[in-house]
Each structure stands twice: as structure tokens, then as C-alpha cells.
Amino acid sequence: MLSIKNLQVAVEDKPILKGLNLEVKAGEIHAIMGPNGSGKSTLAHILAGRDGYEVTGGEVLYDGKDLFELETEERAHAGIFLAMQYPVELAGVNNTYFLKASLNAIRVARGEKELTSVEFMKLIKEKVKFVGMDEKFLKRNVNAGFSGGEKKRNEILQMALLEPKLALLDETDSGLDIDALRIVADGVNKLRSPDRAMVIVTHYQRLLDYIEPDFVHVLSDGKIIKSGDKSLALELEEKGYGWLTEESAA
Amino acid sequence: MTVLSDQNKWFDRILAQAVTDLPGADLTWLQEKREQAKAEMLRLGKPTRKQEVWRYTSVDNLLKQEFESPTPDFSALQAGDIRDQIFFADDDCYRLVFANGRIVTDLSRTNGLEKEVSLGSLRASLGIESETIRSQILASSPSTHVFSELNAAAINDGLYLHVSANTKVSKPIEVIYLTLSLENQLVVQPRNLIVLDEGAEATLVEQYISTGDSVYFNNGVTDIKLAKDSKLTHAWFQDESHAAYHISNINLVQDSNSVYRNTSIALGGVWSRTDINASMKGEGAHCDINGLYTIGEKQLIDFHLNIEHLVPNTTSEEHFKGILYGKGRAVFDGRILVEKDAQLTNANLSNANLLLTRDAEVDTKPQLEIYADDVKCSHGTTIGQLDPDHIFYLRSRGISEVEARKMLSLGFANEVLMSCPTESMRTRIEAKIRAQLLSANTKP
């Protein structure tokens, strides 16, 4: 589904990703771990289409097509979803209105008909229940005044609503207490499916206690320096990143 | 005989046209008022940019235009012409329609109106409520604004609303001022008078609109007098033709414990200037003014607020937002005056501007002038652009960039829109802004 080959990315002429390779197939969950500044968030952002990054080499194929040919919103239409580390607060934009606009934009782009308000309300109420959220958050403005946990849960709600093929989770665990983390992980686990791939970017292993990955990759200085299964994450938890980064530098 | 400069001749020409067919020929006070206003108008003359109140707003283009007064027998307006403009269903409001400055009785609806309420045209009310009108018009604060003198020199017609003591008007009053000219460039000068007696309550929704894109000049004056304990909710919507010139002077006087809530929204006109002057003369008075302007291509909009706290224990909130795109220009000048005696005044003023394009421009000037020592006052202005992170967030959810910018702009305006007195009005105006932003050049 996602094939990243020798990807090189710079921000203001400073190389961040320096030849990254990754293959993700439907149904798989990949965890990308790594120390701060290793390029984890850059990877998530560039896949989702955020401005400010320059691709200086390599390629990314999504369903066999060049991902960088697609505009940000076209990637969403094609089934890519980024759950953000810092979901923004949108003053004056009603959450329900936003969620409906998002879903219908994607439906229209796919040649499906828009949902009416009645159809949408029925659907969103199911999804709210699915992720264990309070309906009152639908009436509020997007993320405005939400706690960290509520914001992350609102991201998972969007993921449940939009049913992406490829979900990118950028530091979804950051800033969450253990209860909030469990709730968010619960939502993610319910969304595991044979048709859906997930790439989870995280600094800490603890999220992986709740979401079990098929593969764990260690990103350091813009490259994946080690890949393995979930036991690699436990090893990292124990030893930290030092032994790996030294090993790769040697 | 005064020798008139070319500029003053412009005012004189407009006036000469306007003074035919004026009502109240038998009312000496009215004749005198007009004469005094004329003298004052000629004395003040053309506003120049050396004057602080006109510093950022040039009247040159306005004064290059020639305008004619409308013919009084205008009656071509049909119900269909305003069907898409009105905010309320017929049964949900009382409605007055003015076309080219004169009331259109056929389209106005006041049946069922409380008998303690006078609602109609000023012209028709002159003979009936002569005394109230006389005292209010003579009390209308002398202005340094030459255009309000031009209006006063030819007081003719406009809205007259008088609510008697302790009466609550049961439905919102919708007033449409429509200007349409097929051939000539018209000048219309509505003179509106709103008087709420002690304990009275009303909701007034005014709309200044046009059915076409013609050039005309609306030069209105609205005097509002709120007696003790009265409450007026006032929505003011300016959606003139994008070739029109618009001036509104709103003069508010508040007695003790009266409450005035205003939502002012302006989208139209090629050039428009609105002054809101509030004089809080009674203890416990409160006024609340929320404003929004959304303008673009070649439009200029100017809001001047002058809020005077004259006695102790009065409060006011003035919050204006602007969305500018294309080569839109806005001027905001908000002044709060707290007089020496006005202890315990609480007043807050803000102006936030969203510039969607590089070519848009705003001059904003909030001022606090405080002579009392025990007060709480604040002011603040911001000028900003849409946040790229916000646009990215929406686009990453499948929403196009154009739609994202529109959603965020409307989000910015939302606070003001929420202050509209009715849902129907808010929905209609939101749809208008949406359409305006969609058709306009809002790319950065």
C-alpha cells in the first residue's frame, strides 16, 4: 500500500530524512520509534502533505502511484489520514459542521453522494459512541478548549468517521495520562482491520503496550537503522536509544 | 451672501434638489432646524484629510459624483423584489419598506401592532406626534459631521418608532431601506427617529440594500433615545450595491438602566462610513455593540465609534471584526470617553482584522480618553492572517483550500454573527458572506 524508497527530505536546506525505506501492506501496523529530532514527525507530515518540506530525493508510492503528485486534500480523498500530535483549535468552527464538511468532501471526491444532515447525525452519533466520547463535544468548536485527551479523542473520532486506508498517528500518546492513553488506544484497536494500515510514530514504548505493532522500526538521523517485531520496542524501553545509534555510527 | 467654493457647491446642489417636496411647511421649528443645518453645513464644508475624523477616508470620489433626488411618486417596487432579502416570515415581524427614501405602504405590514406603539414614516407621523418629534430632532446632538447637517437641512422621511412606557413590542420590527435607480444616480437621505419611553422594549432590524449594482448615495441619520429602564435590540445590516456610497450617522442617548444591544454588519458599498455615537447619560446604562465588516475589491469601509460615559456606573462593550480581501480597505476608529464624574465605568473596546490578501489594508485606531480614576477600561486591536496550520488541518481532512479559507474566515466572524438577534438573520447573513467569499479573490 505504501512504499517509501530512499526518501530524502530537507527543511530550509537542512536534510532531515536521509534515505528512508519503508514498506507498509494493508492490515499491518508499523511503529516508528526514535529519539527527538530523528525525523519521525517529518515523515508523518510529508506523507500527509504539509507545506514547508522539500523532497530532495527518493520516492513514495501509495497504491502504486506517486504520492507527491497529490495535493493534501487529494491524499485525504485517497484514504490517508494523519492524527496530529498537536490538533489545532479552530475558533468559531463548529465541530459537527467540520466533521460533516470533511466526510462529504471525501465522499464527493470519490463520486459518492453527500450525506444529508439527518443521515450524518445518525452516523456521527454511532461513531461518538464507538470512541467513547461525550456528544457535547460535537456542539463545541473544533478542539476549542478541549483538554489534551479530548483533542486526541477527537482525532480518533475523525479517524473512525473517515475510515482511512492508511492512518498515520503522530505522537498520539504525547501529553496523555494513562487513562486517556488507554481510551485512545482502545479506539485505535477497534479500528484495526485487514484493509487498513497504520503507521504509529512515537517516542515512547508505552503506547505500544496498548496497541500491538506488527513491526517496529528505529529511526535515527533520518534513516531507519533497525527493524524488528514488537520485542524491539521492549528492548528500546530497557536500553534506550543509545546502543542503537552508537551501533549505527560505528 | 456667502461665496461658495466648488466643493461647497456640491453640497448646495444636493440640497437644492432635496428641498422640493419637503413635509412640515407649517412647522416653524422644523424650518428653522433645516435652515440652521444648512448654515452649519456650509460653514463646515468639505471634509479634508487634515481633519482627524476623515484622516484615512477620502471623500474625493464621492464629491466627484453628481446625484439627483428621487421622484416622489416612485412605486414600481413589487413584493418579489424584496422576497430574497427579508429576514423574517411575514407573520413573524412587523415590517416597513422604504424605497428611494419614501415608505412603500403596500409592502409594509403593521397589522396587529400594539396600540401603545407608533411605527411608520416620519413624514406621516409629523402631524400626529409633532411634539415628540420636535423635541427629539431639536435635541439631536450637534455634529461636526457635514453630512449629517446635509441630512438635517432636508429632513424629509424615514423611520419613526415610538414605544410608550412599559410596552414591549411583541415581534421584531424589520425595516428595509432599498435604493434602486434605473437611470439617474440618486441621493436618498433617510431620517430615522427611535424613541423608547420608560421601561419599553423593542427589537429593530434594519437593512440597507439595493436590488442592482447602480451608483447612488445614501446619507442617513438615525437618532435613538432610550428612556430609563428601556431595552432596544438593534441589528443594522448594510448590504448596499457595490457601486454605492453610504453614510449612516447613528446617535444614541441612554438614560439610567437602559440597555442597548447592537449588531452592525456591513458587506456592501464601494465607499461607506458609519458613525455610532453613544451618550450614556443615566446611571446603570449599558450598551453592547458588535460589528463585522467583510469587504473586498475596491471597497472602502469606515466605522467610527464614539462612546461617551458621562455619569457613574455605566458599562459598554464594543467589539468589531473585519474580514478583508482583494484590495479592500477598512478604517476603524473607536473612542471611549470617560468623563470626570463617570466613576466605576466599565468599558471594553476591541477591533480584530483578518487580512486574506496581501493587497487588503486596514487603519485601526482605538482610543481611551479617561478623566475619572476608578474605572475599568480596555482596548485592543489585532491584524492577522489565516494560520497555515489551521488550513493544513482542514485540507488534511479532505476539505479544499478555498473551502478551508472560507470556513476559517466565517469562524473568525462567528462571534459577531452569533450576536444577531434572530437565527433567521444569522443564517441569511452567513450565507451571504459565504457567497461573497466564494466569488471573490481571497487567495493570498
Q: Is B431 helix (H, G, I), strand (E, B) or coil?
A: helix
Would you tell me which residues 236-275 of chain B have a C-beta closer than 8 angstroms to some C-beta of chain A? none
Is the Cβ pair B411, A73 closer than 8 Å?
Answer: no
Which of A134-138, A228-232, B141-145, B347-351 is predicted with the least confidence, judged by mean pLDDT?
A: B141-145
Tens-digit pLDDT profile for residues B406-434 = 999 999 999 999 999 999 999 999 999 98
C-alpha to C-alpha distance for B281 and B278, rounded to whole angstroms: 9
The CA angle B331-B336-B337, to the nearest 5 degrees, is 135
Closest-CA residue of B relative to A85 is B393
Asked if residue A60 has pLDDT above 70, the reply is: yes
Distance from CA of A184 to the nearest CA of B (A): 19
B246 inside domain: yes
C-alpha to C-alpha distance for B145 and B224, rounded to whole angstroms: 17
User: By the 8 A CB rule, do B41 and B150 touch?
Assistant: yes
User: By the 8 A CB rule, do B69 and B187 touch?
Assistant: yes
The average pLDDT across B351-358 equals 95
Tens-digit pLDDT profile for residues A79-112 = 999 999 999 999 999 999 999 999 999 999 999 9
Would you tell me which residues 186-245 of chain A have a C-beta closer than 8 angstroms to some C-beta of chain B? none
- Residue B399 is nearest to which of A73, A75, A92, comparing CB atoms? A73
Asked if residue B2 has pLDDT above 60, the reply is: no
Element (H, E) at A162: helix A148-162
Distance from CA of A183 to the nearest CA of B (A): 22
Q: Cell for B421?
A: 438577534
Distance from CA of B330 to the nearest CA of A (A): 22
C-alpha to C-alpha distance for B218 and B206, rounded to whole angstroms: 14
* C-alpha distance across the termini of chain A, in Å: 34
User: By the 8 A CB rule, do B34 and B4 touch?
Assistant: no
Residue B61 — φ and ψ, nearest 5°?
Answer: -65, -40
Distance from CA of A93 to the nearest CA of B (A): 5
Is A7 part of the contact surface with chain B (CB cutoff 8 Å)? Answer: no
C-alpha to C-alpha distance for B57 and B51, rounded to whole angstroms: 10
For chains A and B, count residue pairs whose Cβ atoms are closer than 8 Å: 77
User: By the 8 A CB rule, do B263 and B87 touch?
Assistant: no
C-alpha to C-alpha distance for A6 and B170, rounded to whole angstroms: 72
- Residue B411 is nearest to which of A81, A90, A105, comparing CB atoms? A90
Asked if residue A226 has pLDDT above 90, the reply is: no
C-alpha to C-alpha distance for B436 and B324, rounded to whole angstroms: 11
- Residue A50 is nearest to which of B392, B401, B411, comparing CB atoms? B392
Q: Cell for B251?
A: 446617535
Tell me the CA distances in angstroms from B359 to A30, A124, B245, B302, one per residue in order. Answer: 47, 41, 22, 17
What domains can you pick out in chain A, each with its CATH number?
31-39+71-249 (3.40.50.300)
Closest-CA residue of B relative to A142 is B411
The CA angle B310-B314-B318, to the nearest 5 degrees, is 100
Question: What's the pLDDT score for residue B188?
Answer: 94
Question: What's the pLDDT score for residue A90?
Answer: 96
B415 inside domain: no
B223 inside domain: yes
User: By the 8 A CB rule, do A87 and A151 touch?
Assistant: yes
Would you tell me which residues 355-414 of chain B have a C-beta closer than 8 angstroms to some C-beta of chain A? 387-390, 392-401, 403, 407-408, 410-414
Buried b or exposed e, range B395-420, using 16+ CB within 10 angstroms = bbbbbbeebbbbbbbbbbbbebbebb
C-alpha to C-alpha distance for B355 and A193, rounded to whole angstroms: 44
Question: Any bridge partners for residue B74, and if so which?
Answer: none
Distance from CA of B306 to the nearest CA of A (A): 28
- Residue A76 is nearest to which of B396, B410, B413, comparing CB atoms? B396
Asked if residue B277 has pLDDT above 60, the reply is: yes
B253 inside domain: yes
Mutation pick from B393, B405, B417 vs chain A, by most beta carbons of A within 10 Å, is: B393
Distance from CA of B19 to the nearest CA of A (A): 48
Question: Which residues lie below 8 Å from residue A65, measured CB to CB, with a gap of 6+?
Answer: none
Reported confidence tier of residue B441, pLDDT bands at 50, 70, 90: low
Would you tell me which residues 74-133 of chain A have a C-beta closer than 8 angstroms to some C-beta of chain B? 75-77, 81-82, 84, 87-88, 90-93, 97-98, 101-103, 105-106, 109
Q: What is the 3-state secondary structure (H, E, C) of B326-368?
A: CCCEEEEEEEEEECCCCCCCEEEEEEEEEECCCCCEEEEEEEE
Chain B CB contacts of A91 under 8 Å are 411-412, 414
B67 inside domain: yes
C-alpha to C-alpha distance for B297 and B303, rounded to whole angstroms: 18
Is the Cβ pair B397, A158 closer than 8 Å?
Answer: yes
Is the Cβ pair B398, A48 closer than 8 Å?
Answer: no
User: By the 8 A CB rule, do B297 and B324 touch?
Assistant: no
Is the Cβ pair B392, A141 closer than 8 Å?
Answer: no
Question: What's the pLDDT score for residue B330?
Answer: 97
DSSP H helical ranges for B88-233: 122-125, 130-139, 146-152
Tens-digit pLDDT profile for residues B243-264 = 999 999 999 999 999 999 999 9
- Count: domains in chain B: 1
Is the Cβ pair A93, B396 closer than 8 Å?
Answer: no
B328 inside domain: no
Tens-digit pLDDT profile for residues B157-196 = 999 999 999 999 999 999 999 998 777 899 999 999 999 9
Is the Cβ pair B395, A76 closer than 8 Å?
Answer: yes
Is the Cβ pair A105, B390 closer than 8 Å?
Answer: no
B419 inside domain: no
Domain span at residue B205 reads 6-282
Distance from CA of B396 to the nearest CA of A (A): 5
Q: By percentage, how much of chain A surpasses pLDDT 90?
A: 65
Distance from CA of B101 to the nearest CA of A (A): 37
Tens-digit pLDDT profile for residues B27-86 = 999 999 999 999 999 888 888 888 888 888 999 999 999 999 887 666 677 888 888 889
Q: For chain A, what is the mean pLDDT?
A: 90
Question: What's the pLDDT score for residue B73?
Answer: 61
Of B196, B206, B306, B195, residue with least CA distance to B266: B206
C-alpha to C-alpha distance for A83 and A154, rounded to whole angstroms: 9
B94 inside domain: yes
Is the Cβ pair B412, A91 closer than 8 Å?
Answer: yes
Chain B CB contacts of A103 under 8 Å are 398
Question: What's the pLDDT score for residue B1?
Answer: 47
Is the Cβ pair B410, A93 closer than 8 Å?
Answer: yes
In sequence order, what E strands does B211-314 have?
216-226, 231-239, 245-254, 259-266, 271-280, 286-295, 300-309
Reported confidence tier of residue B276, pLDDT bands at 50, 70, 90: very high
